[in-house]
Amino acid sequence: MNTLRNISDVDSWIYNVYTESIRGADMETTVVKWGNSQGIRLNRELLKQAGININDRVIVETDGKGNLVIRKAQPSIKELMSGYEGGYKLEEYDWGEAEGRELW
């Protein structure tokens, strides 16, 4: 999991951000203005170690201690079902004879 920490100079639109990653591929980057938003650039090796590729969805959240946490998002149901071609056929299953006070 990558952690962003030590965000400073909140009165400005450029912030210093320090990233800490798995396996020690630390990097320092800058938060910059991107249109009406802010953005950061992350090192390719840092993203590779986190298993994040270009155009992957990520979750960005705070940990309550002033740190930002970036993690890869789980695939949506649409992404999970994208290769499904509708080959499932509903079949009745025989559970055997009733036992006890079951009603059939």
Residue 50: Cβ within 10 Å count: 20
Q: Where are the domains of the chain?
A: 2-78
pLDDT of residue 77: 92
Give the pLDDT confidence of 55-94 residue by residue, as tens digits. 999 999 999 898 888 999 998 899 889 988 888 888 998 8
Give the pLDDT confidence of 18-48 residue by residue, as tens digits. 444 445 557 888 899 999 999 998 888 888 8
**pTM (two decimals):** 0.50
Whether domain 2-78 has CATH 3.40.50:
no
Band of residue 15 on the pLDDT scale cut at 50, 70, 90: very low
Residue 96: Cβ within 10 Å count: 5
Residue 71: Cβ within 10 Å count: 14
d(CA 22, CA 37): 27
pLDDT > 60? residue 52: yes
What backbone torsions phi and psi does residue 33 show, to the nearest 5 degrees?
A: -75, 130
pLDDT > 60? residue 17: no
